[in-house]
Amino acid sequence: MNKFVDELRKALPPAAPKITDERLRAWPCEEEPDEIVTALGLSGRRADNVKAACESIRLLSRKAETLDDAVKLLIDSQVGAPNPQKRDKIVDGIVNKFRNAYSNPPGDALFLSSIAPRNSLGYFAYLRHLEQVPETEIALGPDRSASRYRRISRLQDRYTHALAERFAHVFMAIGLPSAYEDVRDLHSEYLGAMYK
């Protein structure tokens, strides 16, 4: 998105007032690319580049309902961009970024290939966004009572251990409050004084 916004920014007249990136992203969604090209007084190759950048911004601004939709919009925005690469190279670049995100997730995420028999498409557990849920609010079976949550499966032991280990690793760096350390040191000194 940034390279398309930069292309649009380069087309602005030098005397134009300062326009934010947010505003430049919104402009192609509010007006047709041809109208923007006309308003900027562009022609030739410069007009083609700005029009292509506007079309790409419009594509990337659409709401994608599924991952497939999002990937198609990314590919189409790159293919229609000014001076595009070959489609195969664009697809490879986008797919490699997704594969890298799965292969090397951030430290506070754990990939789970399957969380239940019918839920095996792959999921991420984001450890900084875990919520405590009272057990009484969880439906454990096909109960007819109203419940906010429904348990769909139990994680296998290896996933439970991996999740606990990753969780500890993420929050280990935060440390305990200094008051804890002060009280611990006080008890240590008290213990040392007892045996002198």
Report yes or no: 123 and 115 within 8 Å, Cβ to Cβ: yes
Per the model's pLDDT, the better-predicted residue between 25 and 178 turns out to be 25
Predicted confidence at residue 62, as pLDDT, reads 93
Instruction: Indicate whether 178 pLDDT > 90.
Output: no
Instruction: Indicate whether 173 pLDDT > 80.
Output: no
Question: For the residues 84-108, what does the mean pLDDT come to?
Answer: 89
Residue 7 in 3-state DSSP?
helix
How far apart CA 157 and CA 9 sit, in angstroms, is: 54
End-to-end CA distance of the chain: 69
How far apart CA 189 and CA 192 sit, in angstroms, is: 5
Count CB atoms within 10 A of the CB of residue 14: 4
Predicted confidence at residue 55, as pLDDT, reads 94
Predicted confidence at residue 193, as pLDDT, reads 81
**Per-residue pLDDT band at 51 (split at 50, 70, 90):** very high
Cβ burial, residue 54 (10 Å; 0-12/13-18/19+): buried
Predicted confidence at residue 79, as pLDDT, reads 93
For the stretch 3-45, pLDDT in tens is: 899 988 988 888 888 889 999 999 999 999 999 999 999 999 9
pTM for this prediction: 0.62
AA identity, residue 39: A
Four-CA torsion 168, 172, 177, 179, nearest 10 degrees: 90
**Per-residue pLDDT band at 144 (split at 50, 70, 90):** low
